[in-house]
Amino acid sequence: MYHVMGIETSCDETSVSVMNSNSEVLSNSTFSQIDIHKKYGGVVPEIASKNHLKKILPVIDSSLSEAKKNIEDIDYLCVTNGPGLINCLMIGVATSKSIGLLQNIPVLPINHLEGHIASCFIENSISFPSICLVASGGHTNLYLLENENNFNLISSTRDDAAGEAFDKGAKILELGYPGGIEIDRLSKRGSNKFHSFPIPNLESDFDFSFSGLKTSLRYYVEKNKNWKDNINDISCCYQEAIVDSLLSKTVKAADKFKSKNILFAGGVACNSRLRDRAKEIFKNKAIFPSNQFCTDNGAMIAMRGLQKIKIKKTDYDNSFPVFSSTKITSNLNLD
Ligand code: KG4
Ligand code: ZN
């Protein structure tokens, strides 16, 4: 039995998890900066990195003590290395490398999006091939998973991400930041028949687009001066359009690739309407991580690290550079 620590600092969550080699989460401690960034209406990168710097060591300490482990018990450090905010990633990577050097622990750089995919494996056993939708504040990607190592990118969004559509929609509706959870909450009291927001029908089979939807919400609000009287219904219809779009592409991909499981990851996978409708459509083939593993967290990074360590146990080089952009693992030929 060995132990890995997952460290996530790519955006506004400082999160650290200790996981054993049986994929059991011994701790998953998260300091969320949402309350700090709320007043700015979005994440301010410089403020985010300063808070990571303040919190990273206390969060590592609390994660170790919750897991009833010492740093000497950790065999591998796994740290998010892109995509993300560069000055935030640097805090996690520099801290991991320093601890690695002092304690002689190998450090593995982990792609944040692969981490989101891996979150689905923490509590579930997955059959292959399977399709995974990663829908977060920065990305909306579909992947074909051949096994627990090969994740092939099928499609992504041409403009806004699904989480961004929720957040920008919430801003127009004056619901504060981040908006996804608030739109989700109000929608439960609204009707999805009140108004029909457009879902783009892109030529490509699997690509997403959300910027037109946000614009149509803005026009709706400008035209209908009493929109606040119907905030629950408007939220519900706006959410319905996002969920429709996500699911229609996911269904197509699941059919095309004869998917045995359909996985949902990223912050938007917390959405209750997406969860309910996906379970109606895909029944027990639909896999959703519990909410704490959907939004950014250290456990998903530890899980992805574990999948890599199972293939390669030694010879890690701790001298890797920090990457802020997405490194796509591979692209499928869809013709
Ligand atoms: O994965 P995540 O924590 O961070 C990124 O990697 O971006 O995702 C954050 C996104 C935000 O846009 C937030 O509004 C959205 O996830 N989100 C939700 C819900 N909870 C979080 N969107 C819809 N419904 C929710 N319940
Ligand atoms: Zn994320």
In the chain, where are the structural domains located? 3-117+294-310, 126-288
Cross-strand bridge partners of residue 7: 16, 79
Asked if 32 and 120 touch (Cβ cutoff 8 Å), the reply is no
Q: How far apart are CA 163 and CA 145, in angstroms?
A: 23
Q: How far is the CA of 2 from the centre of ligand 1 (A)?
A: 32
Q: Which of 88-102, 151-165, 268-282, 315-329 has the lowest mean pLDDT?
A: 315-329
Work out the number of other CB atoms within 10 angstroms of the CB of residue 228: 11
CATH superfamily of 126-288: ATPase, nucleotide binding domain (3.30.420.40)
| Model confidence at 329: pLDDT above 80 | no
- Residue-level pLDDT at 333: 46
pLDDT value at position 326?
61
* Maximum distance among all Cα pairs of the chain, rounded to whole angstroms: 64
Residue type, position 327, single letter: K
Could you give the CA distance from residue 168 to residue 137 in angstroms, rounded to a whole number?
Answer: 10
Q: How many residues does the chain have?
A: 335
Alpha-carbon gap, residue 271 to 268, rounded angstroms: 5
Task: Name which residue sits closest to atom 21 of ligand 1, judged by CA.
Answer: 267
- Give the separation between CA 181 and CA 167, rounded to whole angstroms: 9
Tens of pLDDT along 230-254? 999 999 999 999 999 999 999 999 9
Does 3-117+294-310 match 126-288 in CATH topology?
A: yes
Q: Is 295 in the pocket of ligand 1 (CB under 6 A)?
A: yes
For the CA of 162, the closest atom of ligand 1 is: 12
Task: In whole angstroms, give the CA distance from residue 288 to residue 272.
Answer: 11
Q: Is the CB of 179 under 6 A from ligand 1?
A: yes
If one residue of 9, 33, 270, 274 were mutated to test the ligand 1 pocket, choosing by the most ligand atoms within 8 A of its CB, it would be 270
- Residue among 295, 296, 297 whose CB has most ligand 1 atoms within 8 A, to mutate: 295
User: For the structural domain made of 3-117+294-310, what CATH number should be given?
Assistant: 3.30.420.40
Q: Is 92 in the pocket of ligand 1 (CB under 6 A)?
A: no
Q: What distance in angstroms lies between residue 228's CA and the mean position of ligand 1's atoms?
A: 24
Ligand 1 proximity of 267 Cβ (cutoff 6 Å) = yes
CA distances from 202 to 212, 245, 258 (A): 12, 10, 22
Residue 240 in contact with ligand 1 by CB distance below 6 A: no
β 13-20/3-8 pair status: antiparallel
Q: Which of 268, 270, 276, 294 to mutate to test the pocket of ligand 1 (most atoms within 8 A of CB)?
A: 268
Q: Residue written as tokens 């992805």? A: 304
Return the residue whose CA atom lies nearest to atom 23 of ligand 1. 180
Q: What pLDDT is stored for residue 331 in this prediction?
A: 43
Which token pair is 56? 């990273």
Assign 330 a pLDDT band (cuts: 50, 70, 90): very low
Distances (CA, A) of 253 to 20, 29, 153, 204, 258: 33, 35, 12, 12, 8
Give per-residue pLDDT as tens, 270-328: 999 999 999 999 999 999 999 999 999 999 999 999 999 999 888 888 889 898 876 54
The band of 38, judged by pLDDT with boundaries at 50, 70 and 90, is confident
